[in-house]
Amino acid sequence: MTHPALSSGNVAVITGAADGIGLAAAHRLSGLGMTVVMSDLDADKLTAACDAVGGNAIAIAADVSDRAAVNALAERVSKEVGPVSVLMNNAGTGRGGNALSNPDGWDRVIGTNLMGVIYGVQAFVPAMVAGDAPGLVINTGSKQGITQPPGDTAYNVSKSGVKSLTEGLAHTLREDTKGRVSAHLLIPGFTYTGMMKAHFAEKPAGAWTPEEVVDVMMDGVARGDFYLWCIDNETTREVDNARVLWNANDIAENRPALSRWHPDYKQAFADWMAKG
C-alpha cells in the first residue's frame, strides 16, 4: 500500500529540490504522476534540475529562511497549481560551527534547517488540515540531531529542533485530522548529497545515494512509520540503535554530556557496542 496523498494528479512541494535527496524525491513523485513544485535557493541550478525531472515539475525559487518568501511560495502554489497533498521540507545546509564559533554560520544553519521547516509547516499545513483530502508532510532531519556527534553543533541543534517539531506536529495532526494528514521524520545517515560533494569529489563507499534514502522514505511512509530511519554502507540498524540508546542513557544514568566521546567512558562505550 502507499499513502493516499501519493496519488497521480496530486500536488507535491519539495524544498531543497535542486540536488541530493530533494531532487531524488522529485524524480520519484513525478514518476507517480504527481505535479511536483520544486523549490531551492539557487534559481539556475533549480531550473536545470526541474528540466531533468520533466513531466509535471515546476520550478519556483525561494529562500526558506525568509518567512515572507515561504508564505509567498505557498500563496503562489495555491493560486497557480492547486491544493498541496505532499509537503517535503528538505532544504538544508551545514558548516555552522561549535557553540562558541561562527555566529553568521549559526544564523544561516538555524535559519535554513530549522526555521525553514517551521515556516514551511506554518505556510502549507493549515490548508491541508482545513481541507478534506489526505495529506503527507515529510521533514528531513538527520541522525546527527539524535546522536549529537561533536563538531558542527549548529547543525545538530537545527536537526534536533526538526525532530521535536515533527514529533509535535505528528501529534497535532493525529488529534486534529484523525490521521487524514500525517507527518513523518526522514532521518538520513551518511548520504552523498550536495553538502557532501564539498568534501568528497566522488561518492565514498560508505555513503548511500539519495535514491536509496528515498527508497526508505517511500517504504516507511507506506508502512505508516513516523521515523523514516536510514542506514548507510557503514552502519547497520543494530549499530544505530545501540548508539541512540547509549545517548539516551547519558540522561538516565547522569553521565557527562556526550559521554560517548568522553575519555573516561571510552571503554564502557566500546563494551556497550560489543554487547550489541
pLDDT given for residue 170 in this prediction = 98
Give mean pLDDT, residues 235-240: 95
What are 171-180's pLDDT values in tens digits?
A: 999 999 999 9
Distance CA 252, CA 31 (A): 46
pLDDT value at 11 more than 90: yes
Strand pairing class (35-39; 227-229): unpaired
Element (H, E) at 68: helix 67-80
Pick from 116-125, 183-192, 200-209: least confident: 200-209
Q: What radius of gyration, in Å, describes the C-alpha atoms of the chain?
A: 19
Question: Could you write out the DSSP letters of every residue in 236-253?
Answer: -HHHHHHHHHHHHHHHHT
Tell which residue, 145, 147, 143, 146, has the closest CA to residue 155: 145
Which of helix, strand or coil describes residue 149? coil
Chain centroid offset of residue 201 CA: 23
Q: How confident is the model at residue 270 (pLDDT cuts 50, 70, 90)?
A: very high
Give mean pLDDT, residues 159-174: 98
Q: Which three cell numbers stand for residue 41?
A: 535557493
Pick one of 3.10.310.10, 1.10.10.10, 3.40.50.720, 3.50.50.60 as the CATH number of 11-234: 3.40.50.720
What are 88-98's pLDDT values in tens digits?
A: 999 999 999 99
176 CB contacts (<8 Å, ≥6 apart)?
Answer: 129
Domain boundaries, the chain: 11-234, 236-276
Which residues are catalytic, by number? 155, 159
pLDDT given for residue 74 in this prediction = 98
Give mean pLDDT, residues 222-244: 95
